[in-house]
Amino acid sequence: MRHLTALVLLALAATAHADEKVKALFRKCAPATVYVECKPDKEGLVHLGSGSIIDANGLILSNRHVVASCLDGDREVAIYLFDGRRFDAVVVQVSEELDLAILRLKDSPGELPVLEWGDSDSLEVGEDVIAIGNPDGLKWTLSTGIVSGKREDMIQTTAPLNPGNSGGPLISPEGKLIGVNTLSAYKDRNNIAFARTSNVSRDWVQKQLAAGEVVTPRFDDPAHGFSFTPPQGWALLGDNEKNPGQSVAYAGAASVIRVYLIPGAPKDIKVHAEEQEALLKKQLKPFERRSLAFLEFRGKTDAYSMTYAFAWDGADYVSYQVTVNDTDATWTLRFTCPAADHAKLQPEFDAVIQNARWSAGTAGRETPEKAMEAWVKALSAGNLDAFLACLDLPAWLDDATKGEYGKASPEDRKAMEARYREVMKGVMEKGDLAKQVEQGVRILAGRVDGAGATVGLVSVSTTGVTVVEEFTLANSATGWLVTGVGPAKAYEDAPAAAEDSGKSEVKRKKFRDESKSFSVQLPASWSKSSQKASDTVAYHMFSETGAAESVAKVAVSVMDVRADIEQDELSEDDLDTLAERFMEGFKGSFKAKFVVRGKDQAEVGGIPAVHFKVAAQADAFSPQIEAHIWFCFKNGWAYGVISVTAKGETPNPEFERIVGSFKATGKRK
């Protein structure tokens, strides 16, 4: 049994390499950090810094001294996101005492990645931390260190911090914001840097929000998948309690936007319109309906718009509302303004309607694969609105223009969006994409990494070549949305046509290890790696080609114990004892977390096996994994057949097929 621990330690070695820990944390957190660029000061100097996104609607936390040069002017700065997009932002609140500043994107796209607050009080000296920032303008630089001291409301760290890091995050191994990096009084000393604690910073931010000092630019109702951006400069009213059914309201100069929600199964839209008008006639006298139109709105056929005039408190007003039946609710956006201002403000109201997002398309986009199914279905039907509803349009256009969209002004971006819509409308009407879809597409199993995912789409090109394109997606309150697509590549694992059934199967090849102790059937395109730890221990890894950074894989560990165990087969009790020793070795590889969530008797390759279901994490920087382990024994050979995925990730269907194809072929002699 002396080799069992070595066997298990090697079985999942690829998931615990130290050089992957910080990489994974950077990939997770960097998208929620920003590069801050201020306008030149009086001496012509441009001040640079860093920041953290603390609200998905565009609130950013940084240092006051980073934005100090713009505080006497228009308080505007430029913000660059990790994906290359550029936005103008306004400094909405600062604290000189704490050296903190809150910035707000002026034209936020919403649904931005966010750094979650961590508890700085729970930190201990010696804990690992990382910092992400832009020292001397070197964007998204990563530095690592430890907590070297706790000084009242400051964290001392050995992570190198230089000018340009200011305002950026100090991050815990769990990927949480535990400090705001700031100026150091020890500029000429090595390994002495400081960050304002997250608890002090969070308390200050929350006080500003509670006092109404910071207006979130976009309203989100994640529970119902609805969001919109009010006109710039409009203030949150906070009078929901006085208006039954109201979700939110914003006020401008003598004008107001009110959003109402009726949860539950929607009524017939015409019945709703009749009841709404009857109610308004009772409440408002005099009341004059100027227009009523039933329309298709954002792919929804159950919608109407109504314009009406009325008098209130001696003044004349006009209201314009759009009511939409959603999947599980009815929404109404109502804009009211003085009658004299209606013509002038109508374009602003129209802009709010156009940037509103409803959840239509959420049903059917709960997973990356379902989102791609909805995308393909929209192409096949030539439904432009349904197609656009599947896209995170800003991210999609930024990907398509290689970053030019993100660098453009808000006006130019809107023009690009309108142009793209017109182009896609023409493409849809032409029908080429629908024809390509009709030739056959296949959606491969996706890989999920936090709030992002990739999904392969196999199709037949217009030249008859089978190709695969890798799409990227992002999770949002309205389901998974497509954000970009890679180049089309020849699909080597193209389905081979079945002669009779009309079905298709993936080309497979048998893998047999050097010692001829086992075999499995693998997709021909998959990557394989093998390593001998000793003369008697070896392990083999199988993963989808192109998924090298993913923890998802199938592994088979093999140990030759013929010299230790004379039996060719083991009793159920002896197999269970051996399996438990195997799991003890497995547990030794996972210091941060190791939980056996299930154990049962099973079979693998037609022989008895002990099956374990495990949740584990090697250390604080490593991803959490979920694994199924089948331990079996035959003819003096011990096997661990292991299927690994990241926590919450849907296993590739090929994993089950590979495990099912396992055959123990080791011989006694």
Give me the DSSP letters along 192-231. -EEEEEHHHHHHHHHHHHHTT-S--SSEEETTTTEEE-PP
∠ CA 426-323-370, nearest 5°, is 55
Q: What distance in Å separates the CA atoms of residue 163 and residue 281, rounded to the nearest whole number?
A: 63
Percentage above 90 pLDDT, the chain: 24
Banded model confidence at residue 362, pLDDT cuts 50, 70, 90: very low
User: Which of 184-188, 261-265, 362-366, 475-479 has maximum average pLDDT?
Assistant: 261-265
Mean pLDDT of 560-579: 89
Q: Are 98 and 204 in contact (CB under 8 A)?
A: yes
Q: What is the pLDDT of residue 491?
A: 66
DSSP 117: B
Q: What is the pLDDT of residue 23?
A: 85
Q: What is the pLDDT of residue 448?
A: 73
Cis upstream peptide for 394 (omega within 30°): no
DSSP 391: B
Mean pLDDT of 145-161: 90
The answer to whether 166 is a known catalytic residue is: yes
Mean pLDDT of 257-273: 86
Mean pLDDT of 158-181: 92
The whole-chain average pLDDT of the chain stands at: 80
Mean pLDDT of 189-205: 86
Tens of pLDDT, residues 494-548: 443 333 333 345 678 888 888 889 999 888 878 788 877 777 888 888 887 654 4
pLDDT at position 596 over 50: yes
- How many residues are there in the chain? 669
Banded model confidence at residue 4, pLDDT cuts 50, 70, 90: very low
Q: What distance in Å separates the CA atoms of residue 543 and residue 545, rounded to the nearest whole number?
A: 6
Tens of pLDDT, residues 391-412: 888 888 887 777 787 777 777 7
Banded model confidence at residue 79, pLDDT cuts 50, 70, 90: very high
CA atoms within 13 A on the CB side of 605: 23
Banded model confidence at residue 192, pLDDT cuts 50, 70, 90: confident
The closest of 139, 256, 120 to 199, measured between CA atoms, is 120
Q: What is the pLDDT of residue 550?
A: 62
Q: Are 457 and 379 in contact (CB under 8 A)?
A: no
Mean pLDDT of 91-97: 87
pLDDT at position 8 over 70: no
Mean pLDDT of 311-331: 86
Q: What distance in Å separates the CA atoms of residue 48 and residue 38, rounded to the nearest whole number?
A: 6
Q: What is the pLDDT of residue 218?
A: 62
Joined tokens for residue 200 = 């002090």
pLDDT at position 113 over 60: yes
Joined tokens for residue 166 = 């200011």
pLDDT at position 274 over 90: yes
Mean pLDDT of 545-567: 79
Q: What is the pLDDT of residue 52?
A: 96
Banded model confidence at residue 6, pLDDT cuts 50, 70, 90: very low
In 100-174, at which residue ranges do the beta strands (DSSP E only) sit?
A: 100-105, 128-133, 141-151, 154-157, 169-171
Which of these ranges, 12-16, 43-47, 171-175, 208-212, has the smallest mean pLDDT?
12-16
pLDDT at position 207 over 70: yes
Q: What is the pLDDT of residue 160?
A: 87
Determine which helix (DSSP H) or strand (DSSP E) holds 394, and give its type and residue range: helix 393-400
Q: What is the pLDDT of residue 30?
A: 93
Banded model confidence at residue 81, pLDDT cuts 50, 70, 90: very high
Q: Which of 52, 55, 99, 305 is catalytic?
A: 99
Q: Which of 3, 47, 65, 628 is catalytic?
A: 65
Q: What is the pLDDT of residue 438?
A: 58
Q: Are 4 and 638 in contact (CB under 8 A)?
A: yes
Tens of pLDDT, residues 343-354: 888 887 887 876
User: Which of 25-34, 246-255, 617-626 has maximum average pLDDT?
Assistant: 25-34
Q: 376 to each of 372, 383, 437, 452, 660, how far by Cα in Å? A: 6, 10, 7, 19, 31
Q: Which of the two residues, 182 and 3, has the higher pLDDT score? A: 182
Q: What is the pLDDT of residue 437?
A: 63
Q: Are 34 and 48 in contact (CB under 8 A)?
A: no
Q: What is the pLDDT of residue 7?
A: 32
Q: At what angle do helices 572-587 and 4-11 cross, to 10 degrees?
A: 60
DSSP 286-309: SEEEEEEEEEEETTEEEEEEEEEE
pLDDT at position 35 over 90: yes
Percentage above 70 pLDDT, the chain: 80
Q: At what angle do helices 393-400 and 410-430 cross, to 10 degrees?
A: 90
Joined tokens for residue 366 = 């709960």
Q: What is the pLDDT of residue 494?
A: 40
Q: What is the pLDDT of residue 18?
A: 40
Q: What is the pLDDT of residue 380?
A: 77
Q: What is the pLDDT of residue 503?
A: 39
In the chain, the domains with their CATH numbers are 23-210 (2.40.10.120), 226-355 (3.40.1000.10), 368-490 (3.10.450.50), 507-664 (3.40.1000.10)
Mean pLDDT of 621-629: 80
Tens of pLDDT, residues 650-659: 778 888 889 9
Q: Are 211 and 205 in contact (CB under 8 A)?
A: no
Mean pLDDT of 282-298: 84
Q: What distance in Å separates the CA atoms of residue 180 and residue 378, rounded to the nearest whole number?
A: 45
pLDDT at position 248 over 50: yes
Is residue 31 left, alpha or beta, with left meaning phi > 0 and alpha meaning psi from -120 to 50? alpha
Q: Are 366 and 479 in contact (CB under 8 A)?
A: yes
